Amino acid sequence: MRKYVVTFIVAVLIVAGGFLAWDKHRTPAADGEVVEKTPALSPQKSSQAEASGTTAVKGTVSESTTKNQDSQTSSNQPKSGEAGKSTGQTQTAKNVNSNNTDSKPSAGSKSDSEASAKGSSKTGGKTEFVNTYSVEHVVSNPESMNVLVNKTYRLPAGYVPPDLVYPNVPFTFSEKIDKRKMRKEAATALEKLFAGAKKDGVSLAGVSAYRSESRQTTLYNNYVKRDGVKAADTYSARPGHSEHQTGLTIDVSGSTGKCAAESCFAGTKEAKWLAKHAHEYGFIVRYPEGKDSITGYEYEPWHLRYIGTKIAQTVASRSTTLEQYFGSSIPVSK
């Protein structure tokens, strides 16, 4: 009898032990399922989020492309401009005399940049970016040779460059006035550019360089009175938004001044030489042909911007714009 009792007890212990062992392993197994699924779900969610983000960007780019095409189409319509604008040109430019001249500003897709991303605007540098006065940022690096000034990015109120000098080059006028001035580094580079052109049998003359904010205010208001805001904004910068105020920009022409700041300058040997060689001296044609939807301005083969040889050569080799070069890395004041 004792034998059966012992056998029964052993059997009970075995069954109880088996049950405990099953229960002990069951809980971790269930937890294990949850733990195993979590890592599997995380990448999936991340992937879905990335896919969603990509779709959103693509959608925006498509919309932007349409807008840009519309902008280019409308900008190709002849417009009235400064006194004596040429007609019959796909893109009309402004006529400028020695006392009444103007230029323009810029936007585009992200590329390499030497500007600091810290404190940068998040509105620029993408294909969907619209270069417009409806968004305005004050640049925090106005004295930098790399400063980007356009319809979105403006200079601090009343900004005056610190080292304006008179470059030793011929101008279409004889007076020693403000619009002859440029910042020292740009002026030195301009002298080399003029010398290089002369060596190649091309004689250049300056038309308009530095322009104060008050002078730009007068010019812009006159253009608005004559042509209206919409037309004026295609060829003239609003006060504070003009590259001329940086002291790094100059409008040039042939030595005779013929076609100075007019669309007919595009076909001259001077314009062709500038398009081919300006970057060698650190200058770029700031508002290239066909880029008005990015720069915000009509084609201006006479408008040169000093940016330094490294960036100038990159921009020229890629046939791009400053907006596209700098992307979203534009230091701005908060």
Work out how many domains the chain is built from and give that number: 2
Res. 333 pLDDT band, cuts 50 70 90? confident
Contacts by 142-147, CB closer than 8 A, 24 or more apart = 142/246, 144/115, 145/185, 145/186, 145/248, 145/306, 145/307, 145/308, 146/114, 146/115, 146/307, 146/308, 146/311, 146/326, 147/246, 147/248
**39 and 167 housed in the same domain:** no
> Do 161 and 281 fall within a single domain?
yes
Q: Indicate the residue among 60, 75, 90 that finishes a domain.
A: 75
Question: Looking at residues 27-45, what average pLDDT do you find?
Answer: 30
Residue 320 is assigned to a structural domain of this protein:
yes
- Is 321 in contact with 315 (CB distance < 8 Å)? yes
Q: If DSSP codes are grouped into helix, strand and coil, which group holds residue 100?
A: strand
| % of the chain residues with pLDDT over 90 | 58
Residue 331 CA: distances (Å) to CA of 36, 128, 240, 287: 45, 20, 16, 22
| Active-site annotation holder among 82, 298, 300, 323 | 300
| pLDDT over 80 (residue 93) | no
Residue 113 placed within a domain: no
Q: What are phi and psi of 204, to 5 degrees?
A: -110, 160
In terms of pLDDT, which residue wins out, 140 or 79? 140
- Provide the pLDDT confidence category of residue 129 given band limits of 50, 70 and 90: low
Phi then psi dihedrals of residue 205, to 5 deg = -145, 145
Report whether pLDDT(25) > 70.
no
Whether residue 169 is found in the same domain as residue 27: no
- Is the same domain home to 202 and 316? yes
202 found inside a domain: yes
* 255-304 pLDDT, tens digit each: 999 999 999 999 999 999 999 999 999 999 999 999 999 999 999 999 99
6 pLDDT exceeds 90? Answer: no
Question: Is the residue at 106 inside a domain?
Answer: no
Measured between alpha carbons, how far is 28 from 56 in angstroms, rounded to an integer? 42
Residue 256 shares a structural domain with residue 147:
yes
Same domain (yes/no): 154, 52: no
Residue 331 lies in a domain: no
What CATH number is attached to the domain comprising 279? 3.30.1380.10
In this structure, are 31 and 179 located in the same domain? no
User: Are 64 and 158 members of one domain?
Assistant: no
101, part of any domain: no
**Final residue of a domain: which of 55, 75, 95?**
75
Assess whether 56 and 175 both reside in one domain: no
**Domain limits at 54?**
1-75
Whether 122 is covered by a domain: the verdict is: no
Mean pLDDT score across all residues of the chain: 74
123 in a structural domain: no
Residue 300: active-site member: yes
Residue where a domain terminates, one of 31, 50, 75: 75
- Specify the pLDDT at position 74: 35
Position 110 scores a pLDDT of 34
